[in-house]
Each structure stands twice: as structure tokens, then as C-alpha cells.
Amino acid sequence: MTEPEIDFTADQKGKTNILPEPETKQDKIFYFLFDQGEQTAERLVEIGELTDKNAFAQLKNRNKENFVVSRKDGALSYYDISNEIREKIQLQINQRKNQIEEDNREKLKEQIEEEKSENKILEIKKLISDHKCFKRKENSIYLDFQELSELSPSIFLELTEHPEETIKNFEIALRDFSFENMPLRFSNFSEILESKAIENLRSIDIDKLQLIKARVSSLSDVRPQIINIKFECPSCGTLISISQLEKRIREPVRCSCGRRGGFKPSSKELIDRAKCELQDLGDLTESPQTREISSFVKDHLTESKELSKFNPGSEVKVLCVLKSVENTAGGYKNTSLDLYLDVLEGEPFEEIIDLDSFDEEEIKQFKELSAKISNENSLNEIRESFAPDIIGNESPKETLILKQAQGRGRKNKSNILFISDPGLAKSRLVKKYHSLMPGSSYVSGSGSSAVGLTATVEKKEEGWILKPGVLPTTKEDSIIDEFNLTPEEDRGKLQEGMSEGQITINKASIHSKLKVSCGIIACANPLNGIFDEKEDLVKQFNIPPQLLNRFDAIFKIQDTKNSLEDKKIARQMLLRSEDRIEQKYNDEFLKRFFLYVRNQPEPTYSNEVMEYIPEKYAIIRESQRKMCEPHKVNARFVEAVERFAKAMAKLKFNKQVLKKDVDFVIEILGNTYLNLDEVEDLRK
């Protein structure tokens, strides 16, 4: 196919007939003089459709610098345009020529692309007719990425490099099979595409297919959105289609007939759309700063069932196209571009640990450590390496080690509270836990607003949006320092999150329930600065009873005066300052070991243990009744024993919980606020 040429004949070359029709009488005269050269006043009156020679004289006097008298023939004067006007018109002609040439090149490109597209559509139709790659499910057509990559690598490559154009070809091909009213969906994309972190998106990725694993941080109302407007040209009636990607409506710059401006909207194309903010998952990125990006779900993805996948706090795998839009911050266009994601598909994301990723040597070391724990029925072997810079605190350390081994899911996670005088290393202890637990979060109750811990609703330009806080967005454990200083308005939501596993939000147009799947490890200092053993905990720490009741273990860490212990603590502090503390198992080993343990199958209970735990629980309750003590032990104690005993069994790589696991856990819990040392029958 050869490039078409512009037909400029000798007598037309440089003429104004390729310019738009002149709109003023003056321009008509200018164009005529440019083409024909000098003319009499009578001829120019005729060309400019003026009333008489006086009208031409007035026009000439108003534009003296633009007209010249080229010659005189007796009393008859001949007029022409100035060189400046001639140069301006010539420039317009040259620009118009270039534009026509460019338009012809674009038409040629479009013809070539149309031919290519037709060939691709034929290949897609063959896949559909052979019942390959495309499958009907309910009221949708699903494209299987895995099959497409195997059966048609060329189309698969086109889909990844030019997704919007290729998806359009899919939709055209599907019309011939009576599927045009069914939305095109996508399956098995996460198995074949490599995911990318939001922080790693670059200009080279714009307009290409992306797989993003992220957490939803906010979701707006569903609103109608204009995506395309057709404008009518008043001069020639041509309909000009303009995609609407920015906040302000874009209008055509010019029509093919040459007209500029004054275009009238003829029709609008609308879709339902909701905006959600996605943020990188902390354990999938190396950056300490969590990056966010605006994303848009539309059409069938805004239906209730599909939109629920994008509830704030949810972790999703998103198939999307990275798009760019001009930055108009400050009221003017900048050279920098804003990025956003056009979401094509989303599905819940649950990271699965591949146990085969651990090498044989690692597993051998893990089993050796587990065997020592099992043989001794204690955590001494590992406890000395868990926060070795902190002297004492054996039971708190062992409890945190057990918690590291607990399985995923809220029902398997314990809540632990540490209360003490300031300066007794409880914050260092829980920070060590945080460093060893991927997917955990660390916040301060005193520095958190309502959105900081739970959730809030905010009014934005796109409507009301729900913003989840730390609890709904934390996958493993949320560590809250200065827990007793949590804002009052947060405590009701905290209690609901700890007891029901959800936070209910009813405000403005937002009615939602955010899932809470994390456990809580909290620290608190007494309000008056000194812990009093005889004083009520509620009064000392300003923590309501209903919140205290949600903790499986409450440890009282006190500053005891013991010269031997004081010397050990002081010596350890000096060794820590010089980085000379010995550690049998380093933090990286412990991190990998706990990860391996957490992903072991959950142990079960034998019939013997099923009878043993209730028996112990009844003994404790009866003992406290005889001592006329308030019942600190309630049914939550059974849940605590269950969770911690399973964790102990997992540390031993046992498939069943044993009686000695239960005994070990009860001994640890006896050192908590429950104070079970005086229950003699427990030792029988």
C-alpha cells in the first residue's frame, strides 16, 4: 500500500483554496488578493460583498498597514495586500499542507492497523469457535490467561503490551457468537503474570497490563461517570468523539473541516464507577514508606458482590492497566503526570507459603530445635535467643514465643496485655516480637486517632469514603503501645473488633463491616506512674473491664528490688551498647523458624486432652470459690489454653496436643494476672 499524495496542480499551488472558508469580508478580500494579485476597488467590492466603494474605502482606512496601492493607471488605482499579510497567509497555507500530509499518514497508519486488527480478530474468532480460552460462566465470558498464553502466545503478548486495543478486539470477535451483552472477565491471571509493587511502577509501564498485589485503604461511593462525549461541528455536522479522562470535560480542538471551537455536545457515554486507594503490602516491598495509588473499578465490578472484594482492609490481586493523566495541581497543567489504575479484575489475595522453599539444611536445623523443645517440654532453648538483651521476663517471653507459633485466622490468635511501671523493657520486648513477625504493625495508643486504630469516614471530592485503620489492615498482630491512652471514641470499636472480629461503620452513605483478623499485643503504664499491686487494674490503667476481658493473658511486670538481678540488668545493658550480646539463634533464623512452624497443620485434641482441659478449668474455678476470690478465671481461660497449647504442639512438630502441653501452658498463665500459684490441686 503506497502513501497517497496531495494533488497540488501548478495553478493551485500556494493558493488559499486549501484553507477553511474565510469568515469575514476582510479575509475574503485578503485571500483573493493573495491568489490573484492586484485588483481594482470595484472588483474588491464585488469579492468582499461590500455595498459600494465607500465601504471598501472605510475598510481600507481601518487597515492602512495591510493594504498597499501597487500601481495606478491614470485615475484607476490597483490594490494589493502588504508583504506582512502575504507572509501570514503563506504560513497558514504551509501549516495546512503539513496538516493534510499528517492526516494522510495517520489514515494510512489506521488502514494498516485495521488490517492487522482484522487478522487478530479472525484468530480470536477461531479460538472461540474451537471452544478454547473463552468459557461462559453464568452471565459472563471468562478469558483464561493460562490457556491463551499456551495456545496463542502472539495474542497473549498483544494483550499484555496493548491491553485496551486487544480487549476491544476480543469484544468485537465475541459479537459474532451472540456474547456482546455479556461482560468479559478474566481468570488464572495471577498464575501467569508476574506481580509488581506499586512503588516500582514506572513510565515504561503506562498503558500496559499489570498485576498488583495490594491492600485496599479506602473505597468511595459508586457514581455515574462520563467516559466519552460526542461533539457536533456546527460547520459540517461531523461528530467528534472525545474520551473523558480528566476531572474537567475535554472538548475538541478542531474539526477535519478546519473549524476551531464552538462545538456542541451531542451525546454522552456513562458508566458506574467507584474509586479505591490501593497501598503496597508491607511484607512485599523493601520500602519503609507504604506507597498508594488511585484505582477505579467500573461496570460489572461495581455490583455489590464484586465491590465487596474491594472493602477497605481487604488484600486483593488486581488485574489492571496503568494509566496516566495530566497533573493540574495549582490550576494549571504541569509537565509531571499522575498515575492511576484502571481495574479489569480483582480477587482476594491470601499469600500461601511454599514449604518447599525451605532447603533441607534449614529444615534439619528446625527439627533439631523442635526436638530439644519436645524433649525438655520447655522453651528454654529458644527463650535465651528471644530478645537476649532483656534479663528475666521468662513467662512474657515464652508467651510471645508461643504466639509466634499460632496459626493464621482470628480464632487462632491470642490477645496479650503487658502492664508495668515505666522503664521495664516491655516496649523493647514487643518491638522484638514485631521485628520477627511479618505482617504485624506497631502503633502508639496516645498518637492514634480514630482512623489510626479502627476506621473513619471522610468526605472527599468523589463522595464519602471509608478509611480503615491499623486493626482492619493488619494481617498478623497489631502491637499497641500505651494502650490505656487510646482515645475514648476508639474503645467501643476496639472492643467490637476484639470480640466480634469486625468493626461496624454506619455514617453518611457508608454502611460497612470491616473484618479484623489480627491478634493484639498491648502495653500500658499506670496513670500515676507507679504500679500498685493492691490497687484495682481498671482504676490504675484506665482500661474498661470489658476490654480487659478480651485478653487471654495479662502480665504484671514489676520493678522488684534485687541487687543480683540489678547487676545482671546493668551488665546486659553495657553489653548491648557495645553489641556484644551472644545469641545462639540469630533473628533471621528465628524468623524463618517461626514462619515454618506457623504454616504447619493445626494440631488436634485426643479424647484424653478433651477431658483434661475441662477438668483443670473446673479445679481452678472451685479453688477460687473456696478462697472467696473474685472469679478472675472465666471461660476465656479455656480459649487461651486451647490456643497456646496448640502453639506448643506446633513448636514440637506434633500432630496432636498432649497433656504436658496443657500443663506447660497453664503454668505460664499461672504467672499472669490470674495468679494460679496458690491452686494446689493443679499440681496433682
List 142's β-bridge partners, or say none: 135, 185
Contact (Cβ atoms closer than 8 angstroms) between residue 460 and residue 221: no
Tens digit of pLDDT for each residue in 273-317?
Answer: 999 999 888 655 555 457 889 999 998 999 988 998 898 878 899
The distance of Cα 281 from the centroid of its chain, to the nearest Å, equals 8
For CATH 1.10.10, list the domain ranges present in the chain: 1-129
Residue pointed to by grid coordinates 451472540: 178
pLDDT band at 344 (very low <50, low <70, confident <90, very high): very high
Q: According to the model, what pLDDT value does residue 11 have?
A: 42
Provide the β-strand partners of residue 338.
325
End-to-end Cα, the chain, rounded Å = 97
> What is the percentage of the chain residues whose pLDDT exceeds 90?
33
CATH class of 198-348: mainly beta
Binned at pLDDT 50, 70 and 90, residue 13 comes out as very low
Please answer whether residues 621 and 677 qualify as being in contact, where contact means their C-beta atoms are separated by less than 8 angstroms. no
pTM value is 0.66
Q: How many CB atoms sit inside 10 A of residue 528's CB? A: 10
Pick left, alpha or beta for residue 49 (phi over 0 → left; psi -120 to 50 → alpha; otherwise beta). left
pLDDT, one tens digit per residue, over 252-266 is 888 888 788 889 899
Q: Write phi, then psi, for 396 (nearest 5 degrees).
A: -60, -40
What would the mean pLDDT of 117-130 be, rounded to a whole number? 87
Neighbour count for residue 475 (Cβ, 10 Å) = 21
Between residues 334 and 643, which one has the greater pLDDT?
A: 643
Which letter does DSSP use for residue 671 in this model? T
- Quick one: pLDDT band at residue 433, thresholds 50, 70, 90? very high
Whether residue 512 contacts residue 311, with contact meaning beta carbons closer than 8 Å, is answered with yes
Burial label, 344 (beta-carbon count in 10 A; 0-12, 13-18, 19+)? buried
Residues 359/313, Cβ–Cβ less than 8 Å:
no
C-alpha pair distances (Å), 317 with each of 71, 191, 280, 334, 349 = 80, 11, 11, 32, 5
The band of 595, judged by pLDDT with boundaries at 50, 70 and 90, is very high
From residue 630, give the alpha-carbon distance in Å to each of 259, 536, 538, 544, 680. Answer: 89, 12, 15, 17, 18
Q: Average pLDDT in the 407-411 region? A: 78
Q: How far is CA 460 from CA 221, 279, 463, 508, in A?
A: 10, 18, 5, 12
Q: What is the pLDDT of residues 479-528, one digit of tens each?
A: 998 888 888 777 888 888 888 888 888 877 777 788 888 999 999 888 77
- 479 in Cβ contact with 433 (< 8 Å): yes
Q: Report residue 329's pLDDT band, with 50, 70 and 90 as the boundaries.
A: low
Give the contacts of 351 (CB within 8 A, at least 6 positions apart): none
Q: What is the DSSP string of 106-149?
A: HHHHHHHHHHHHHHHHHHHHHHHHTT-SEEEETTEEEEEHHHHH
Supply the DSSP symbol for 7.
-
Among 114-118, 412-416, 515-519, the range scoring the smallest mean pLDDT is: 114-118
Among the residue ranges 92-106, 141-155, 454-468, the one predicted with the least confidence is: 454-468
Mean pLDDT of 326-344: 80
Mean pLDDT, the chain, whole residue set: 84
Q: What is the rounded radius of gyration, in angstroms, for the C-alpha atoms of the chain?
A: 38
Answer yes or no: CATH 2.30.30 is held by domain 600-684. no
| Per-residue model confidence (pLDDT) at position 681 | 54
For residues 320 and 312, give the distance between their C-alpha atoms in angstroms, rounded to a whole number.
Answer: 18
Question: φ, ψ for residue 297 (rounded to 5)?
Answer: -105, 145
Asked if the model's pLDDT at residue 57 lies above 60, the reply is yes
Query: Is the domain covering 361-598 a CATH 2.60.120.10 domain?
Result: no
C-alpha distances (whole Å) from 298 to each of 143, 187, 289 are: 18, 18, 29
- Comparison of pLDDT for 354 and 298, the residue scoring more: 298
Q: What is the per-residue pLDDT for 8?
A: 37
Q: What confidence category does residue 51 fall into, taking pLDDT thresholds of 50, 70 and 90?
A: confident
Using a 10 angstrom Cβ sphere, with 0-12 exposed, 13-18 middle and 19 or more buried, the burial of residue 44 is buried
Contacts of residue 627, defined as CB under 8 A and 6 or more positions apart, other chains included, come to 678
Q: Which fold has domain 1-129?
A: Arc Repressor Mutant, subunit A (1.10.10)
- The amino acid at residue 137 is K
Helical segments of 443-554, H only: 450-453, 470-473, 488-500, 537-541, 545-548
- CA nearest neighbour of 441 among 561, 566, 578, 281: 281
Domain with CATH 3.40.50.300 in the chain: 361-598
Q: Decide: 665 and 402 in contact? Cβ < 8 Å.
A: yes
Output the CA–CA distances (angstroms, integers) from residue 173 to 115, 119, 130, 166, 601, in the order listed. Answer: 15, 11, 13, 11, 47
In the chain, ranges of CATH 1.10.8 domains: 600-684
d(CA 398, CA 134): 54
Q: What is the DSSP letter of 411?
A: G
Nearest to 141 by CA among 309, 419, 424, 345: 345
Spatial contact of 199 and 280, defined as CB atoms under 8 Å apart: yes
Which H, E and C letters describe 324-388, residue by residue? EEECCHHHCCCCCEEEEEEEEEEEECCCCCCHHHCCHHHHHHHHHHHHHHHHHCCCHHHHCCCCC
C-alpha to C-alpha distance for 404 and 599, rounded to whole angstroms: 11
Per residue, the 3-state secondary structure of 12-55, as one string, reads CCCCHHHCCCCCCHHHHHHHHHHHHCCEEHHHHHHHCCCCCHHH
Instruction: Please count the residues of the chain.
Output: 684
Q: How far is 315 from 329, CA to CA, in rounded Å?
A: 30
pLDDT surpassing 80 at residue 538: no
Give the pLDDT of residue 365: 95
The residues, any chain, with a CB within 8 Å of residue 286's CB and separated by 6 or more, are none
The pLDDT score that the predictor gives to residue 236 is 87
Note whether 292 and 277 are within 8 A (CB): yes
Residue 438's alpha-carbon distances to 144, 366, 479, 501, 658, in angstroms, are 33, 19, 12, 21, 29
Dist. CA 615–CA 621, nearest whole Å: 10
**One-letter identity of residue 301:** L
